[in-house]
Amino acid sequence: MSTVPLPPLADVLATAQVVALPLATRFRGVETREAVVFEGPRGWTEFSPFVEYPDAEASVWLAGALDFGWRDAPAAVRDAIPVNATMPAVAASEVRRILARYDGCRTVKVKVAEAGQVLADDVARVRAVREEMGPEGRVRVDANGAWNVDEAERAIHALAEFDLEYVEQPCAEVDELAQLRERIAYLDIPVAADESVRKAADPLRVARAGAADLLVVKAAPLGGVHAARRIVAEAGLPAVVSSALDTSIGLAMGAALAAALPKLDHDCGLATAALFTADVVASPLVPRGGVLPLERPRPTGTDLDRVAASAERRDWWLARLRRCYTLLELTRG
Protein backbone atom coordinates (compact mmCIF):
# COMPACT_ATOMS: atom_id res chain seq x y z
CA MET A 1 0.00 0.00 0.00
CA SER A 2 1.26 3.48 -0.82
CA THR A 3 2.88 5.58 1.92
CA VAL A 4 2.01 8.86 0.18
CA PRO A 5 0.34 11.22 2.70
CA LEU A 6 -3.44 11.04 2.77
CA PRO A 7 -5.40 14.02 1.47
CA PRO A 8 -7.64 15.61 4.10
CA LEU A 9 -10.90 13.71 4.56
CA ALA A 10 -12.79 16.95 4.00
CA ASP A 11 -11.29 17.18 0.51
CA VAL A 12 -12.43 13.65 -0.28
CA LEU A 13 -15.97 14.24 0.97
CA ALA A 14 -16.32 17.65 -0.69
CA THR A 15 -17.18 16.16 -4.09
CA ALA A 16 -18.23 12.63 -3.02
CA GLN A 17 -21.32 11.27 -4.76
CA VAL A 18 -22.86 7.84 -4.15
CA VAL A 19 -24.21 6.20 -7.29
CA ALA A 20 -26.26 3.10 -8.04
CA LEU A 21 -25.90 1.60 -11.51
CA PRO A 22 -28.47 -0.97 -12.69
CA LEU A 23 -27.22 -4.01 -14.58
CA ALA A 24 -28.79 -5.39 -17.73
CA THR A 25 -28.19 -8.92 -16.40
CA ARG A 26 -27.68 -10.15 -12.85
CA PHE A 27 -23.95 -10.67 -12.29
CA ARG A 28 -22.54 -12.67 -9.36
CA GLY A 29 -25.69 -11.94 -7.38
CA VAL A 30 -25.52 -8.19 -8.08
CA GLU A 31 -28.40 -6.38 -9.80
CA THR A 32 -27.35 -2.82 -8.92
CA ARG A 33 -23.71 -1.76 -8.50
CA GLU A 34 -23.07 0.95 -5.93
CA ALA A 35 -19.98 3.15 -5.66
CA VAL A 36 -18.67 6.41 -4.27
CA VAL A 37 -17.06 8.70 -6.84
CA PHE A 38 -15.16 11.86 -5.99
CA GLU A 39 -12.73 14.27 -7.62
CA GLY A 40 -9.08 14.68 -6.73
CA PRO A 41 -6.42 16.98 -8.21
CA ARG A 42 -5.69 14.40 -10.94
CA GLY A 43 -9.32 13.74 -11.81
CA TRP A 44 -12.32 11.67 -10.79
CA THR A 45 -11.77 8.45 -8.89
CA GLU A 46 -13.86 5.66 -7.36
CA PHE A 47 -14.31 3.77 -4.07
CA SER A 48 -16.41 0.65 -4.64
CA PRO A 49 -15.51 -2.41 -2.56
CA PHE A 50 -18.34 -4.92 -2.61
CA VAL A 51 -20.80 -4.39 0.20
CA GLU A 52 -19.94 -7.63 2.01
CA TYR A 53 -16.23 -6.82 2.32
CA PRO A 54 -15.04 -5.89 5.83
CA ASP A 55 -13.58 -2.46 6.47
CA ALA A 56 -9.99 -3.72 6.65
CA GLU A 57 -10.23 -5.07 3.11
CA ALA A 58 -12.29 -2.13 1.86
CA SER A 59 -9.68 0.34 3.14
CA VAL A 60 -7.22 -0.98 0.55
CA TRP A 61 -9.75 -0.04 -2.13
CA LEU A 62 -9.88 3.46 -0.64
CA ALA A 63 -6.09 3.66 -0.86
CA GLY A 64 -6.44 2.76 -4.53
CA ALA A 65 -9.04 5.46 -5.08
CA LEU A 66 -6.88 8.09 -3.40
CA ASP A 67 -3.85 6.98 -5.38
CA PHE A 68 -5.73 7.50 -8.66
CA GLY A 69 -7.23 10.83 -7.64
CA TRP A 70 -4.16 12.43 -6.05
CA ARG A 71 -1.13 10.94 -7.85
CA ASP A 72 0.01 11.05 -11.47
CA ALA A 73 -0.48 7.73 -13.23
CA PRO A 74 2.66 5.87 -14.35
CA ALA A 75 3.81 6.62 -17.88
CA ALA A 76 1.69 4.86 -20.49
CA VAL A 77 3.29 2.65 -23.13
CA ARG A 78 0.05 2.21 -25.11
CA ASP A 79 -2.96 4.43 -25.76
CA ALA A 80 -5.63 1.75 -26.19
CA ILE A 81 -6.34 -1.48 -24.28
CA PRO A 82 -7.60 -4.65 -25.99
CA VAL A 83 -10.47 -5.98 -23.90
CA ASN A 84 -12.61 -9.08 -23.48
CA ALA A 85 -16.35 -9.52 -23.20
CA THR A 86 -17.62 -10.84 -19.88
CA MET A 87 -20.37 -13.46 -19.89
CA PRO A 88 -22.41 -13.79 -16.67
CA ALA A 89 -23.67 -17.21 -15.62
CA VAL A 90 -26.71 -17.00 -17.88
CA ALA A 91 -28.60 -19.65 -19.80
CA ALA A 92 -27.02 -20.60 -23.11
CA SER A 93 -29.95 -19.02 -24.91
CA GLU A 94 -28.92 -15.59 -23.55
CA VAL A 95 -25.34 -15.69 -24.82
CA ARG A 96 -25.91 -14.06 -28.20
CA ARG A 97 -27.87 -11.16 -26.71
CA ILE A 98 -25.16 -10.38 -24.18
CA LEU A 99 -22.27 -10.67 -26.63
CA ALA A 100 -24.00 -8.09 -28.82
CA ARG A 101 -23.21 -5.49 -26.12
CA TYR A 102 -19.45 -5.86 -26.72
CA ASP A 103 -18.36 -4.25 -29.96
CA GLY A 104 -15.55 -6.10 -31.68
CA CYS A 105 -14.34 -8.16 -28.72
CA ARG A 106 -12.64 -11.37 -29.80
CA THR A 107 -12.14 -12.78 -26.29
CA VAL A 108 -14.87 -13.80 -23.83
CA LYS A 109 -14.52 -14.56 -20.13
CA VAL A 110 -17.32 -16.91 -19.11
CA LYS A 111 -18.47 -17.14 -15.52
CA VAL A 112 -18.84 -20.74 -14.34
CA ALA A 113 -19.50 -22.59 -11.05
CA GLU A 114 -22.39 -20.31 -10.15
CA ALA A 115 -24.23 -21.28 -6.93
CA GLY A 116 -27.39 -23.23 -7.75
CA GLN A 117 -26.11 -24.37 -11.15
CA VAL A 118 -24.46 -27.60 -12.28
CA LEU A 119 -21.61 -28.45 -14.60
CA ALA A 120 -23.99 -29.12 -17.47
CA ASP A 121 -25.08 -25.46 -17.29
CA ASP A 122 -21.46 -24.35 -17.58
CA VAL A 123 -20.80 -26.68 -20.51
CA ALA A 124 -23.88 -25.41 -22.36
CA ARG A 125 -22.92 -21.76 -21.76
CA VAL A 126 -19.30 -22.19 -22.84
CA ARG A 127 -20.40 -24.19 -25.90
CA ALA A 128 -22.76 -21.38 -26.90
CA VAL A 129 -19.96 -18.80 -26.49
CA ARG A 130 -17.56 -20.90 -28.58
CA GLU A 131 -20.18 -21.27 -31.31
CA GLU A 132 -20.75 -17.51 -31.38
CA MET A 133 -17.04 -16.67 -31.36
CA GLY A 134 -15.98 -19.28 -33.90
CA PRO A 135 -12.66 -21.12 -33.89
CA GLU A 136 -10.57 -17.92 -33.97
CA GLY A 137 -12.14 -16.39 -30.85
CA ARG A 138 -10.58 -16.82 -27.43
CA VAL A 139 -12.61 -18.26 -24.55
CA ARG A 140 -11.56 -18.23 -20.91
CA VAL A 141 -13.57 -19.33 -17.86
CA ASP A 142 -13.70 -17.96 -14.31
CA ALA A 143 -14.87 -20.06 -11.35
CA ASN A 144 -14.11 -17.47 -8.62
CA GLY A 145 -12.57 -20.19 -6.45
CA ALA A 146 -15.80 -22.19 -6.19
CA TRP A 147 -14.42 -25.66 -6.97
CA ASN A 148 -12.33 -28.02 -4.88
CA VAL A 149 -9.44 -29.73 -6.69
CA ASP A 150 -11.44 -32.79 -7.78
CA GLU A 151 -14.37 -30.68 -8.98
CA ALA A 152 -12.04 -28.37 -10.85
CA GLU A 153 -10.23 -31.20 -12.62
CA ARG A 154 -13.54 -32.74 -13.69
CA ALA A 155 -14.97 -29.43 -14.88
CA ILE A 156 -11.86 -28.38 -16.80
CA HIS A 157 -11.74 -31.77 -18.49
CA ALA A 158 -15.38 -31.31 -19.54
CA LEU A 159 -14.70 -27.80 -20.86
CA ALA A 160 -11.38 -28.55 -22.55
CA GLU A 161 -13.04 -29.35 -25.88
CA PHE A 162 -13.86 -25.65 -26.25
CA ASP A 163 -10.17 -24.70 -26.53
CA LEU A 164 -9.85 -22.63 -23.37
CA GLU A 165 -7.34 -19.78 -23.27
CA TYR A 166 -7.05 -20.28 -19.51
CA VAL A 167 -9.09 -21.06 -16.40
CA GLU A 168 -9.27 -18.31 -13.79
CA GLN A 169 -9.22 -19.03 -10.04
CA PRO A 170 -10.65 -22.56 -10.29
CA CYS A 171 -9.94 -23.18 -6.58
CA ALA A 172 -9.79 -20.85 -3.61
CA GLU A 173 -6.47 -21.79 -1.96
CA VAL A 174 -2.96 -21.41 -3.32
CA ASP A 175 -1.99 -24.98 -2.50
CA GLU A 176 -5.11 -26.20 -4.34
CA LEU A 177 -4.14 -24.18 -7.41
CA ALA A 178 -0.66 -25.69 -7.34
CA GLN A 179 -2.05 -29.21 -7.03
CA LEU A 180 -4.59 -28.65 -9.79
CA ARG A 181 -1.99 -27.15 -12.09
CA GLU A 182 0.00 -30.37 -11.83
CA ARG A 183 -3.08 -32.53 -12.39
CA ILE A 184 -4.18 -30.75 -15.57
CA ALA A 185 -0.74 -30.27 -17.10
CA TYR A 186 -1.65 -32.87 -19.73
CA LEU A 187 -4.46 -30.59 -20.95
CA ASP A 188 -2.11 -27.66 -21.58
CA ILE A 189 -4.64 -25.16 -20.14
CA PRO A 190 -3.01 -22.35 -18.12
CA VAL A 191 -4.22 -21.47 -14.63
CA ALA A 192 -4.78 -17.81 -13.72
CA ALA A 193 -4.98 -16.44 -10.18
CA ASP A 194 -7.33 -13.59 -9.22
CA GLU A 195 -8.63 -13.80 -5.64
CA SER A 196 -5.33 -15.44 -4.62
CA VAL A 197 -3.71 -12.12 -5.53
CA ARG A 198 -6.19 -9.36 -4.70
CA LYS A 199 -7.63 -10.88 -1.51
CA ALA A 200 -4.37 -12.31 -0.16
CA ALA A 201 -2.28 -10.93 2.68
CA ASP A 202 0.70 -11.79 0.48
CA PRO A 203 -0.25 -11.21 -3.17
CA LEU A 204 3.07 -12.66 -4.35
CA ARG A 205 2.67 -16.02 -2.63
CA VAL A 206 0.83 -17.58 -5.58
CA ALA A 207 3.72 -16.73 -7.91
CA ARG A 208 6.38 -18.03 -5.49
CA ALA A 209 4.42 -21.27 -5.07
CA GLY A 210 4.29 -21.90 -8.81
CA ALA A 211 0.52 -22.10 -8.47
CA ALA A 212 -0.42 -20.02 -11.52
CA ASP A 213 0.70 -19.31 -15.06
CA LEU A 214 -0.57 -15.74 -15.06
CA LEU A 215 -2.09 -13.17 -12.73
CA VAL A 216 -5.40 -11.35 -12.97
CA VAL A 217 -4.92 -7.97 -11.29
CA LYS A 218 -7.39 -5.28 -10.31
CA ALA A 219 -6.08 -1.82 -9.48
CA ALA A 220 -8.28 -0.69 -6.59
CA PRO A 221 -8.25 -3.93 -4.51
CA LEU A 222 -4.44 -3.95 -4.66
CA GLY A 223 -4.12 -0.40 -3.35
CA GLY A 224 -4.01 1.48 -6.65
CA VAL A 225 -2.29 1.64 -9.99
CA HIS A 226 1.22 2.07 -8.60
CA ALA A 227 0.92 -0.78 -6.08
CA ALA A 228 -0.62 -3.16 -8.61
CA ARG A 229 2.06 -2.36 -11.18
CA ARG A 230 4.74 -3.11 -8.58
CA ILE A 231 3.12 -6.47 -7.73
CA VAL A 232 3.06 -7.50 -11.38
CA ALA A 233 6.73 -6.59 -11.76
CA GLU A 234 7.76 -8.53 -8.66
CA ALA A 235 5.65 -11.58 -9.55
CA GLY A 236 7.34 -11.95 -12.93
CA LEU A 237 4.27 -13.51 -14.52
CA PRO A 238 2.09 -12.33 -17.42
CA ALA A 239 -0.81 -10.20 -16.20
CA VAL A 240 -4.37 -9.54 -17.24
CA VAL A 241 -5.87 -6.33 -15.88
CA SER A 242 -9.50 -6.73 -14.92
CA SER A 243 -12.32 -4.76 -13.32
CA ALA A 244 -14.46 -5.41 -10.27
CA LEU A 245 -17.67 -4.36 -12.01
CA ASP A 246 -16.51 -0.75 -11.82
CA THR A 247 -18.16 2.38 -13.12
CA SER A 248 -16.49 4.04 -16.10
CA ILE A 249 -14.38 6.01 -13.62
CA GLY A 250 -13.06 2.82 -12.04
CA LEU A 251 -12.47 1.31 -15.47
CA ALA A 252 -10.25 4.28 -16.29
CA MET A 253 -8.15 3.34 -13.26
CA GLY A 254 -7.76 -0.19 -14.61
CA ALA A 255 -6.95 1.15 -18.06
CA ALA A 256 -4.21 3.35 -16.59
CA LEU A 257 -2.66 0.24 -15.03
CA ALA A 258 -2.94 -1.77 -18.25
CA ALA A 259 -1.45 1.09 -20.24
CA ALA A 260 1.59 1.22 -17.94
CA LEU A 261 2.53 -2.48 -17.99
CA PRO A 262 5.61 -3.19 -20.12
CA LYS A 263 3.96 -6.32 -21.58
CA LEU A 264 0.28 -6.99 -22.13
CA ASP A 265 -0.15 -10.31 -23.87
CA HIS A 266 -3.83 -10.92 -23.10
CA ASP A 267 -7.05 -8.99 -23.60
CA CYS A 268 -8.09 -7.25 -20.40
CA GLY A 269 -11.36 -7.51 -18.48
CA LEU A 270 -12.14 -3.80 -18.63
CA ALA A 271 -15.27 -3.82 -20.79
CA THR A 272 -17.77 -4.44 -18.01
CA ALA A 273 -19.50 -1.06 -18.39
CA ALA A 274 -21.29 -2.84 -21.23
CA LEU A 275 -23.24 -4.72 -18.55
CA PHE A 276 -24.80 -1.52 -17.14
CA THR A 277 -27.96 0.16 -18.39
CA ALA A 278 -26.72 3.50 -16.98
CA ASP A 279 -23.32 4.85 -15.95
CA VAL A 280 -21.74 7.89 -14.30
CA VAL A 281 -21.12 9.59 -17.65
CA ALA A 282 -23.33 10.06 -20.69
CA SER A 283 -20.74 8.26 -22.87
CA PRO A 284 -19.59 5.22 -20.87
CA LEU A 285 -16.13 3.74 -21.26
CA VAL A 286 -17.12 0.80 -23.46
CA PRO A 287 -15.14 -1.01 -26.16
CA ARG A 288 -15.11 0.05 -29.79
CA GLY A 289 -13.64 -2.48 -32.15
CA GLY A 290 -12.54 -4.59 -29.19
CA VAL A 291 -10.39 -1.90 -27.56
CA LEU A 292 -10.87 0.58 -24.73
CA PRO A 293 -9.44 4.08 -25.18
CA LEU A 294 -7.11 5.51 -22.59
CA GLU A 295 -9.22 8.40 -21.33
CA ARG A 296 -10.48 9.74 -18.00
CA PRO A 297 -14.26 10.26 -17.68
CA ARG A 298 -15.47 13.58 -16.24
CA PRO A 299 -19.07 13.27 -15.01
CA THR A 300 -21.33 16.28 -14.87
CA GLY A 301 -23.76 17.04 -12.08
CA THR A 302 -26.58 15.91 -14.34
CA ASP A 303 -24.78 12.63 -15.04
CA LEU A 304 -24.41 11.91 -11.34
CA ASP A 305 -27.93 13.00 -10.44
CA ARG A 306 -29.29 10.51 -12.97
CA VAL A 307 -27.70 7.56 -11.12
CA ALA A 308 -27.74 8.91 -7.56
CA ALA A 309 -28.29 6.35 -4.82
CA SER A 310 -30.99 6.74 -2.19
CA ALA A 311 -30.32 8.91 0.85
CA GLU A 312 -30.11 5.79 3.02
CA ARG A 313 -27.48 4.18 0.77
CA ARG A 314 -25.59 7.46 0.51
CA ASP A 315 -25.32 7.64 4.29
CA TRP A 316 -24.21 4.00 4.47
CA TRP A 317 -21.44 4.47 1.92
CA LEU A 318 -20.12 7.74 3.32
CA ALA A 319 -20.00 6.25 6.82
CA ARG A 320 -18.05 3.33 5.36
CA LEU A 321 -15.67 5.68 3.59
CA ARG A 322 -15.00 7.56 6.85
CA ARG A 323 -14.27 4.30 8.72
CA CYS A 324 -11.90 3.13 5.99
CA TYR A 325 -10.14 6.50 5.97
CA THR A 326 -9.57 6.16 9.73
CA LEU A 327 -8.05 2.74 9.17
CA LEU A 328 -5.69 4.16 6.55
CA GLU A 329 -4.65 6.88 8.99
CA LEU A 330 -3.83 4.24 11.59
CA THR A 331 -1.81 2.08 9.19
CA ARG A 332 0.22 5.07 8.01
CA GLY A 333 0.97 6.28 11.51
Catalogue the active-site residues. 111, 218
CA 101, chain centre distance (Å): 18
Integer Cα distance of 162 and 168 in angstroms = 15
**Residue 202 is labelled as binding a ligand:** no
Alpha-carbon distance of 145 to 172, in angstroms, equals 4
Residue type, 101: R
Does 11 show up as a binding residue in the annotation?
no
3-state helix, strand, coil in the chain (%, to 5): 40, 20, 35
Classify residue 15 by its DSSP letter.
Answer: S
Q: Is 168 annotated as a binding residue?
A: yes
Contacts of 281 (CB under 8 A, 6+ apart): 248, 249, 297, 298, 299, 300, 303
Give the other-Cβ count within 10 Å of 97's Cβ. Answer: 11
With 0-12 CB in 10 A as exposed, 13-18 as middle and 19+ as buried, what is 305?
exposed
CA-to-CA distance for 27 and 21, rounded, in angstroms? 12
Contacts (Cβ under 8 Å, ≥6 apart) of 45: 37, 38, 39, 65, 66, 68, 69, 249, 253
Q: Provide the annotated binding site.
A: 142, 168, 194
Q: Provide the annotated binding site for Mg(2+).
A: 142, 168, 194
